[in-house]
Amino acid sequence: MVTKPGGPIDVGGEFLSLIVSSAIRQRALSIADGFLIAVEQRGFKVRIEEGKTLITCEDVAVHFRMSEMAKKTREGYAHDTWDALGRLRIILRSATYASAAPSEIKARDESDKRLEDQVNDVLARLRRAVVGYEGRDIRRKEAAIDAKIESRRQEHRRWHDEMGTIAARRKKEALDAAIAESERWAIVDRGHRYLVHIESQARERHLSVDSSTAVGQWLERTRAALDMMDPTDARLSLTKRATTYHLTSSPT
């Protein structure tokens, strides 16, 4: 597949990501083949993942790519013109943030050193990234345990905070209810005192407050309405039921 008109050719392959011109295709294949065989001999695994050549060992994971260096010679409206330079390069790029490998390991043809002569150095740098895996693995496991412990601590803190919030809300609700209840009682109490005042004034004026009179009937109706509004009996009844339940449910 020609990636750009007049540019390098991507030859693909089962394990390879090569972008080279046909002139140096065989050389690129030879270097890549030798490199991947050497990688596998050193305990690495090579596979295709999401269309990329992936090299892995323990916690090291890198993407392999070989390409021919090219130079842009002209920019065009439809496409640019590139000229292949006949020089190869290898790039190993870290596949994940968690990979212990360097972000990039590079090697390329130089005027005084061909890529073939740098392959062992690339392999050594890749292999060094694996060294210390056991220690890193222990640290990762310890970090995972610490993270789990911290997660549980946060969960416990959230639970206590939530329980505190619920308790505070219940206290406020109880206080609000008590205030509302006391305000209702104050209205009843004031009403009863007013009835006493009316009855007293009626007697001083020699008016009958008997139930057969208009004043007496009004006093009876109003007193009955006030008694119905009085929260005292209901509150004492609730308190009595709660006390009885507590006594009957206590161990003997």
Task: Say yes or no to pLDDT of 44 above 50.
Answer: yes
On whether residue 68 sits in a domain, the answer given is yes
Residue 224 CB: number of other CB atoms within 10 A?
A: 9
Domain count, the chain: 2
| Range(s) of the domain holding residue 210 | 140-249
Of the residues 131, 161, 192, the one at which a domain ends: 131
pLDDT value for 9: 47
Distance between CA atoms of residues 188 and 223, nearest Å: 9
Statement to judge: residues 126 and 150 lie in one domain: no
Residues 104, 24, single domain; the answer is yes
Please name the residue ranges forming H helices in the chain.
25-41, 119-130, 133-204, 214-229, 232-249
CB 108, CB 89: distance < 8 Å: yes
Pairing of strands 18-20, 60-74: parallel
- Specify whether the CB–CB gap between 1 and 86 falls below 8 A: no
Does one domain contain both 21 and 93? yes
Predicted confidence (pLDDT) at residue 250 exceeds the cutoff of 70: no
* 43 domain residue, yes or no: yes
Residue 4 included in any domain: no
Do residues 4 and 83 lie in contact, with contact meaning Cβ atoms separated by under 8 Å? no
Instruction: Note the pTM of the prediction, 2 decimals.
Output: 0.48
Strand partners, 70: 84
Judge if 154 and 240 occupy the same domain.
yes
What stretch of H or E contains 53?
Answer: strand 52-57
| Mean confidence (pLDDT) of the chain | 82
d(CA 178, CA 213): 38
Residue 130 confidence (pLDDT): 82
| Rounded-to-integer distance, Cα 10 and Cα 67, Å | 9
